[in-house]
Amino acid sequence: MADPMRIRANVVGDTTEVKVLMSHEMETGQRKDSAGKVIPAWHIQNVTATYNGKTVLTAQWGPAVSKNPFLSFKFKGGAKGDKVQISWVDNRGEKRTDEATIA
């Protein structure tokens, strides 16, 4: 199973700033291994962020996103103690969901 994400969420004025580190190989499908064979693409495809059950961000990612991606975004509202939930699904169907409390 994939390693957990690291999520930080802080209230700044009337917005909440969320910073997420994800652990993923993000293989592009363009590289070859030492035997010359193409390493199959393996990357996160969909990212969803929800706050109190409401979706605040969705993203479709491709092979251009770096290994171990870092995602930072802001959304209006949010209060200390509330939960932010981030999920991703990769092109192999593997998924991971983690939650953080807004500070």
Q: Are 46 and 61 in contact (CB under 8 A)?
A: yes
Instruction: Write down the least CB distance from residue 22 to other proteins, Å.
Output: 8
Q: Residue 52 CB: number of other CB atoms within 10 A? A: 12
Residue 65 sits at the vertex; the CA angle it makes with 4 and 21, to the nearest 5 degrees, is: 25
Interface with other proteins by CB under 8 A: which residues?
Answer: 3-4, 6, 19, 21, 23, 25, 27, 39, 66-68, 70, 72
Instruction: Write down the least CB distance from residue 58 to other proteins, Å.
Output: 20
With respect to other proteins, which residue has the nearer C-beta, 4 or 52? 4
